[in-house]
Structure 1
Amino acid sequence: MVKQALYLENLKVGDTFISETYQLSADKIKSFAREFDPQVFHCDENLAEDTFFKGLAASGWHTAAITMKLVTESLPFAHGIIGAGGEITWPQPTRSNDVLYVKSTIKEIKPSKSKPNQALVIVECETLNQRDEVCQILTAKLLSFKKD
């Protein structure tokens, strides 16, 4: 189902968008890690037991990539999700067999002084697991444009 594109004039502080879910697995965690973040706590269940994480954990960048997928599917900004910076934290590890979803809430809208047809929209994207535990918080600065 294609969602209606949202323009700047459609957005307001407090708007919340909930994504579909994404099922993680040990194989997905290890495959991503082998290519992008090859550390033992992301690549080997046995060696991961003796690390800070006390078991296999997804790379934070893997969680971020999943978040991006879910945000692009659930936050239908006209012209796409165009980032202009942000801050990311990982309050707890993402684990194999977690089922993730993203709750995105508009926190602030800052109209551009030099470009009246656009604004920076500050969106807090919480990536939660099946127990509603927060695995990642992304506070993103996104561009949004007026329809005209």
Structure 2
Amino acid sequence: MLYFEDLTPGLRFHTASLTIDTQAIQEFAGQFDPQHFHLDHDSAQDSVFQGLAASGWHTSSLTMRLVVQSEFGRSVAGGLVGMGVDKMRWPRPTRAGDTLQATIEVLSAKRSGSQPEFGVVKLRWTTDNQHGEELMSLETAIWVPLRQP
């Protein structure tokens, strides 16, 4: 298990990878982000994306899945109890056939002043495709128990 004391700034973790396909892009979009550039190949050609693109929310959801299923996600004591998300960015679109992999970096760790058995760990998640191009990034804080309160 990983406790607050184990999560020091600069520490990095990498997830497994997964490949997204057209059907998954269109199914997610149909349910959660039904815009033409996520649903229809032809009309997406005339969009800012110049082709079918996954919703940024889909990329973020897939990243969450990768993080939760990673050794990091399975090892944090108490689970990944999120406190919020900041600076979410989608610098380039995710396309059908892209293989996504995420990196989790510990940015900071601070003991809680009000609950001494916990600390707040700030993380940066970055999701890249198979070419090493960044598709999504965000910063998040998680609530992590101390091994030695």
Q: How does 1:27-66 map to 2 (within 5 A)?
A: 27-66=23-62
| % identical aligned pairs | 38
Match for residue 147 of structure 1? 147
1:21 aligns with 2:17: yes
Output the amino acid matched with 1:73. Answer: Q
Q: How far apart are residue 120 of structure 1 and its match?
A: 1.1
Q: State the TM-score, normalizing by the size of structure 2.
A: 0.93
Q: How far apart are residue 10 of structure 1 and its match?
A: 1.5
Match for residue 124 of structure 2? 124
Partner SS, residue 106 of structure 1: strand
Structure 1 residue runs of 4 or more that deviate by more than 4 Å after TM superposition: none
Q: Runs of 5+ in structure 1 lacking a partner?
A: none
Q: How far apart are residue 35 of structure 1 and its match?
A: 0.5
Distance 2:147 2:69 in 1: 20
Distance 1:110 1:71 in 2: 22
Match for residue 77 of structure 1? 76
Q: State the TM-score, normalizing by the size of structure 1.
A: 0.94
Distance 1:55 1:118 in 2: 46
Distance 2:111 2:65 in 1: 26
Match for residue 134 of structure 1? 134
1:12 aligns with 2:11: no
Count of matched residue positions in the alignment of Structure 1 and Structure 2: 144
Q: How far apart are residue 147 of structure 1 and its match?
A: 2.7
Deviations 1:11-67 (A, max 9, x none): 111110000001100111001000010000000111100001111110011001001
Distance 1:141 1:8 in 2: 12
Deviations 1:85-117 (A, max 9, x none): 112111111111000000100001121111111
Output the amino acid matched with 1:144. Answer: V
Partner SS, residue 71 of structure 1: helix
